[in-house]
Amino acid sequence: MSKSSRDRNFFRKMARRESPIRFLVALADNLEDIAWRPTREEILFERLAHMKVCWDREDDERRRRRAAEIAVVVELDKVWLERERLWEECLAAVQNYYLGEREKEEQAADRRRREKCLKLRKEINRDMVRAEREELIRRAVYRGR
């Protein structure tokens, strides 16, 4: 049962209980015999209903202000997120540049190592050929040019 229907039922029951007029046929012949002034409870309920309306209005206004504050923060966050995205793009570009440069340096180092290995291989081959020639000359098997 919703709160508004509970309030409505409560007020209806209170009105039945406190009202001197139960039915239309029970009205006195003289209407001046009926107590038309509201009872203390009716005045209190009226005040409470008015206070509830004021409180609801204040709550709604407070919620609207809070929603507006949150909307401002969200807009600022959107701007911040956009700047952060641009920063990350720049950072990624710099990182990609340095990774590319590092890869180039590694390739250049590999090329230098390969060239050095080829040079060493040629020297080793020359030394082997010289040592073999000397051995063959020593055995007198080699006849030079």
Tens digit of pLDDT for each residue in 11-67? 677 666 655 555 555 555 666 666 667 788 888 999 999 999 999 999 999 999 999
| DSSP 8-state code for residue 140 | T
Residues 6+ apart with CB under 8 A from 131: none
pTM of the model: 0.42
Count of CA atoms in the C-beta half-sphere (13 A) of 76 = 6
Tokens of 89: 């793009």
Measured in residues, the chain has a length of: 145
